[in-house]
Amino acid sequence: MLEKLCNLNGVSGTTDAVKDFIINEIKPYVTEITVMPCGNIIAFKKGKYTPPKKVMADAHIDEVGLIVKDITDDGYLKFDEVGGFDERILLSKRVTVGENCIPGIIGIKAVHLATKEEREKVVPISEMYIDIGAFSKEEAEKYVKKGDTIAFVSEYKKIGQNSVKAKALDDRVGVAALISALKKDAEYDYYAAFTVSEEIGTVGAQSAAEFVKPDIAIILEGTTCSDVPGTREHEQSTNQGKGPALSVVDRASYSDKKLNVFIKKIANENNIDFQLKRTVMGGNNARSIQLSGGGVKTAVLSVPLRYIHSPVSVMNISDYENYEKLVKCFLDNIGRAGEIYD
């Protein structure tokens, strides 16, 4: 299922393919599905019991990508970013443009025409273009238009003994884990929110939280992992092979301390490996959910991803397996949520 999700295109603002896939997967297993005007999917899962506090699990369905902002007279596409990423990853990447998935390549001026200064600097997006094989603006406009989103081309593949590479692992890991939980019997009622537009400002999460009005929310994410040569140990946010990562604080939210203690306790009781995220960079849907209504207790549980927000993110399979287990154990124990409020 994770492979199918990653191979779908769902750049922020154009997530219908992902939305339709999710609905088809979860429809037989949930009590009610609401599709909000913004594109959020809110599913209610009826359990054996009603917990003392209303709980929502959130995973965003959009991915980073690009958008066409202009078409040159000679048929090249000028573009900008949708979501944040390192511009260094873009050169020579394969992409598809628009609803019809028109193939293209990201290029720049030929190296033998570049000055010494140009060759030594990081090329900004403003100097790049996408070549779709058109020779005029009129020809290009037969296939694409301004405002079309652009997705990276990268198939989900296993590498090594226990890893996979793919685009959009952030946050199809969260989506897949939440779908997996919904397909199993639930001890307690909970809401599953599959939200849009996280990559451009946690937009969907705010309306989802206002709709559900949870007391507690767990945000299911992918997070940065830089356990690679050149990164000192104390700078490594997470490490692959050590389990899912529990956040303490980032640039957008502060996780509830009692909720984090509760999750650690559940992980230890069920012999599930986990780690603490050791840096404070980044942000996620906890930012908007935490501030909704009268305030929501939030926790963020993530899968460590090398080369996040690129066409070739890398994930450790055992980390994901432990992630799925911990998500399900958390949802099966939310009847004890009173502990969080003691």
* Domains of the chain, first to last: 2-63+167-341 (3.40.630.10), 66-152 (2.40.30.40)
Selected catalytic residue, list 3, 32, 117, 198: 198
Residue 195 CA to residue 207 CA, distance in Å, equals 9
Average pLDDT rounded to a whole number, residues 183-197: 97
Query: What pLDDT, on the 0 to 100 scale, is given for residue 230?
Result: 84
Q: Which of 51-60, 227-236, 292-301, 319-328 has the lowest mean pLDDT?
A: 227-236
Predicted TM-score (pTM) of this structure:
0.95
265: tokens are 């306790």
pLDDT tens per residue, range 43-67:
999 999 999 999 999 999 999 999 9
Active site residue 198: yes
The answer to whether the beta carbons of residues 302 and 320 sit under 8 Å apart is no
Residue 289 CA to residue 58 CA, distance in Å, equals 9
Query: What pLDDT, on the 0 to 100 scale, is given for residue 249?
Result: 95
* Percent of the residues in the chain that have a pLDDT greater than 90, as a whole number: 87
Query: What pLDDT, on the 0 to 100 scale, is given for residue 342?
Result: 76
Query: What pLDDT, on the 0 to 100 scale, is given for residue 238?
Result: 95
Amino acid in the structure at residue 149: T
pLDDT at 114 over 80: no
The answer to whether the beta carbons of residues 309 and 83 sit under 8 Å apart is yes
Radius of gyration of the chain (CA): 21
